[in-house]
Amino acid sequence: QAQMVESGGGLVQAGDSLRLSCAASGRTLGMLTVGWFRQPPGKERDFVAAISRSGDHTYYSASVKGRFTISRENARNTVYLQMNSLKPEDTADYYCAAIDGACSRTACYDRRLYRYWGQGTQVTVSV
């Protein structure tokens, strides 16, 4: 079993930056594909970004591509989500999640494949 714990959320203004962290324990991070998802109030949980086990491959939703960057430090058992040029529509609860092993380019977007989930961290972007 892997435990995922998010941190770094908060209240920021439009245009600001924020970096989320996801600390993993219970499993070697290098064995896990990790993704970030977000759930705005009253809406479904959607894919944001994912990173392969080695970090060589990254995937982004169209709404965040070019503004958000996912990265990982396996030695620190931590995955990051750097969020720049934040917009009010980025307001949501952000969750990190992990898959044992790899996922294909299209499969990484599917939240149903993620086995381990954190409790989430709230991000609020004001106008």
**pLDDT tens sequence for the chain (127 residues):** 899 999 999 999 999 999 999 999 998 899 999 999 999 999 999 999 999 999 999 999 999 999 999 999 999 999 999 999 999 999 999 999 999 988 887 889 999 999 999 999 999 999 9
* The pLDDT of residue 41: 92
Which is nearest to 116 in space by CA: 40, 22, 44, 7? 22
* The pLDDT of residue 104: 85
